[in-house]
Amino acid sequence: MTVKFNFPRRSLLACAAVAALLPGLAAAKCADIPGKGEINIVGSSMPSVQHLAKEMESCSKGTLKVTIKITPEARVETERAFGSDGKSAFDAAVISGGVYSNLASRGQLQSLTDLVAKYKVKYKIEDNMLVKSGNDVLAIAYQQNAQNLYYRKDLFDKHGIKVPTTYAEMLQAAAVIKAKEPSIEFPIAQTFSKGFDISTEFVNIYVGLGGKLFKPGTAQPAFNDEIGVRTIELMKSMVPFMTPNYLASNSDDVMNQFMQGKAAMGVLWASRAARMDDPAASKIVGKMEFAAAPAAMVGGKSATHLWWDGVAMPKNLANDRDLVFQVLMDALDEETTKAGNDSTIWIRSIYKPTRFGTGVILSMKAGAPIWPTEPYVGLATGELGKLVPEAMGGTMTPKQALDAAAVAYTRAATEKGFIK
């Protein structure tokens, strides 16, 4: 009897010893998070989110189940869930700086300050990652992003083109490629699709031309001024070099155009860069290089904005906040960053910058500002996203479109209480 008892116990001890001496080896993620239930997270289809999703879902074991919903409509779904009167459908969301501003202004994000303090050491949460409003930590950022210039170095070298530093130079480069490179009919690919994409392009170039979206200190619109008209005209001058279907080009579509070798340059999110070298999907492995987004005018700042993406939890959370936080931090730990190093520009210090991140860093150096944080920016971009395409397509003049957007925005902002 005694022998029987000792044997299993000793082998158990042996197993434990082995397990303790082999850290990280097949240690299932979240090995030491005690918890049960379901955790639901939502995020966009960015490559880094897909990488995080794998990490988060590998936390599912036993009674704990983690699911992440990846959808291009993540923005809308997050705002809906976090803003609902009942409990949120999602326990956490991967959000961008813009969505953060909306949610924070409505008081819909919960403070994570105490949780950060509790788990700072365990998950090595760095100060850079904390997104604070006043003294409250409302989000933990993990990646920086910006739209920067993508260009086919091989083609540029072949035709003796210098890397453009202004949009004017980019148009010249496009003209050269269109004339001299038979394989490329539409050299520029950029996210001009109606809605968020084209409105972001507008804001990038508008601010790059020195414009101010709102009258200082108020939520009154100022984007329908003369600079706004020049912005649309600059955008229109790009159209001859883009696919006729440019009003449908979203990030996925632009990526396709690059990866299929159909376009030679454009301003696109840095977070999409790594896919250019994915042999399963790309025909142009190793040929794409990255630089700062061109300035909109000579001597201007790089016409792009800096974004961060991170995770946040809603006030109307229905779950165990400690558990959710741990799952999130586990997914954002150093191992994840290391494993997915090339998939985006991580904020963590252990990130090794790759050439995919060059564009963002160069844009930053060239003075790109951070995306405006006013909570009513989303309302303005919503209206711009609907009306700028009308100006692009010629059914309205730029001034008409901008004025209509200003009126519609004013109405929406008044409805929401930003304008009294």
Partner 1 sequence: MKTKSFLQFVGPSVAMMLLLLAAPLLLTFYLSVRNCAMEMEMVKIEESTPFGKKETLTQRAKLDAAGKAIQSCSFVGLDYYRKVLGLDAEAAQPGGPPEAAGTIAKGDKADNEFLGALRFTMIYTFVTLPFVLGIGFLLALGVNGVSQNLKGAFISASLLPFIITPVVAALSIKWLFRDDGLVPYLLSQVGVQVFWMAQAWSARLLIILYGIWHVVPFAFIVLYAGLQSVPQDALEAATIDGASRWQKLRYVTLPHLMPLIVFITLIHLMDAYRVFEPVMVLTQGAFTTSVQYLTYHILLQESNPYKASAAAVLTLIGIVVLLIPLLVKTYREQKRGV
Partner 2 sequence: MGKRPLSLSILLYGGLVFWLVIASLPVVWTAIISFRQYLDAFSSPVKWVAPFTMENYTRLWIEKEFYRNFLNTALVTVFTVTISLTVGCLAAYALSRYRGSLGFWLLMVALMFRAIPHSSLLPSFFTLFDALGIRNTYFTLIFVLVAINQPFTIWMLRSFFINIPNELDEAALVDGCTRFQAFRRVIIPVMWPGVITTGLFSFLLAYNDFLLSSALTSGDKMTMTAAIANSISAESETLLMQGVAGAVSITIPLIILVVIFQKQIVGGLTQGAVKG
Site residues, partner 2 (CB under 8 A): 38, 40, 45, 50, 67, 69-73, 77, 81, 84-87, 89-90, 250, 252-253, 255-256, 281
Least distance from partner 1 to the Cβ atom of residue 42, Å = 14
Backbone angles phi, psi at 230, to 5 degrees: -65, -35
Q: State the nearest-atom distance from the C-beta of 57 to partner 2, in Å.
A: 9
Residue 156 binding result from partner 2, partner 1, none, given CB thresholds of 5 to 8 Å by partner type: none
* Tokens found for residue 151: 């260009």
Q: Please, which of residues 52-111 interact with partner 1 by CB under 8 A?
A: 76, 79-80, 83, 97, 104-108, 110
Q: How far, rounded to the nearest angstrom, does the alpha carbon of residue 157 sit from its chain's CA centroid?
A: 30
Q: Residue 386's binding partner, choosing from partner 1, partner 2, none, with beta-carbon cut-off 5 to 8 A by kind?
A: partner 1
50 binds, among partner 2, partner 1, none (CB under 5 to 8 A by kind): partner 2
Residue 184 DSSP label: -
CB contact at 8 A, 71 and 53: no
Angle at 169 between CA 165 and CA 172, to 5 degrees: 155
> Count residues contacting partner 1 (CB under 8 A)?
64
- Residue from 261, 251, 212, 236 nearest 380 by CA: 212
Among 37, 178, 195, 361, binds partner 1 (CB under 8 A): 195
- Tally of helices (H runs) and strands (E runs) in the chain: 15, 9
Provide the minimum distance between the beta carbon of 175 and partner 2 in the complex, in angstroms, as a whole number: 25
- 50, 220, 261, 335: residue in contact with partner 1 (rule CB under 8 A): 220
372-377-380 Cα angle (round to 5)? 140
Task: Return the number of the residue (60 or 256) whose C-beta is nearest partner 1.
Answer: 256
Per CB under 8 A, the list member of 151, 156, 290, 308 interacting with partner 1 is 308
**Residue among 170 and 331 whose Cβ is closer to partner 1:** 331
**Structure tokens that stand for 54 in this block:** 């794998």
48 binds, among partner 1, partner 2, none (CB under 5 to 8 A by kind): none
Q: What is the DSSP letter of 356?
A: G
User: Smallest gap, in angstroms, from Cβ of residue 334 to partner 1?
Assistant: 16
Of 171, 196, 167, 194, which Cα lies nearest the Cα of 269? 196
Separation of alpha carbons 201 and 195, rounded Å: 10
Place of tokens 């971009």: 381
d(CA 173, CA 159): 9
β-strand pairing of 37-43 with 64-70? parallel
Q: Which residues bind partner 1 (CB under 8 A)?
A: 76, 79-80, 83, 97, 104-108, 110, 128-134, 141, 144, 194-195, 215, 217, 219-221, 224, 244-245, 247-248, 306, 308, 315, 347, 370, 373-376, 383, 386-387, 389-390, 396, 399-400, 403-408, 410-412, 414-419
